[in-house]
Chains A and B, each alone.
Chain A
Amino acid sequence: MGLRKNKKVMRSFLPKNKNVMGIFLPKNKKGIEILHNTLVFILLNIVFFAVMFGFVSRAGSGATTVEQVYAKQIALIIDQAKPGTSVSLNIEEVYELADKNKFSRGGVIRIDNNENKVYVQVDEGRGYSYNFFNSQEIVWELKNRELFLEVKLKNE
Chain B
Amino acid sequence: MNKKELGKKFMRRFLCDKKAMRSPLNKKGEERFLTPWLFMIWSLIGVAIVAGVLIFYSLKIDVRQNEAEILSTKLIDCIVDNGHLKNLENFEVLEECNIDKDVIWNGDYYFNFSIYEDEKLFKSIAVGTKDFEIHCKLREESEGESFADCFKDKVYALKDNKKIIIKILTASNQLGAKL
Instruction: Tell me the A residues contacting B by CB distance below 8 Å.
Output: 37, 45, 48-49, 52-53, 55-56, 59-60, 65, 68-69, 71-72, 76, 79-80, 83, 116, 119, 121, 126-136, 154
Contact = CB atoms under 8 A, between A and B. Distances in A.
Given A130-B176, A134-B99, A49 B48 contact: yes
A116 B174 CA distance: 13
B90 to A, nearest CB: 19
Interface of B: 32, 41, 44-45, 48-49, 51-52, 55-56, 59, 61, 63, 66-67, 70-71, 73-74, 94, 98-104, 106, 108-109, 174, 176-179
B59 A65 contact: yes
Given A116-B102, A132-B103, A79 B52 contact: no
B178 A72 contact: no
B103 A52 contact: no
Contacts of A59: 52, 55-56, 59
A128 to B, nearest CB: 6
Contact of A135 (B49, B99, B108): B99
Contact of B48 (A52, A76, A129): A52
A65 B58 CA distance: 11
B108 A52 contact: no
B59 A135 contact: no
Contact of A131 (B59, B61, B108): B108
A65 to B, nearest CB: 6
23 contacts: A52-B45, A52-B48, A52-B52, A60-B55, A65-B59, A69-B61, A76-B67, A79-B71, A79-B74, A80-B70, A80-B74, A119-B179, A121-B179, A126-B178, A126-B179, A127-B178, A133-B99, A133-B100, A133-B109, A134-B98, A134-B99, A135-B100, A136-B98
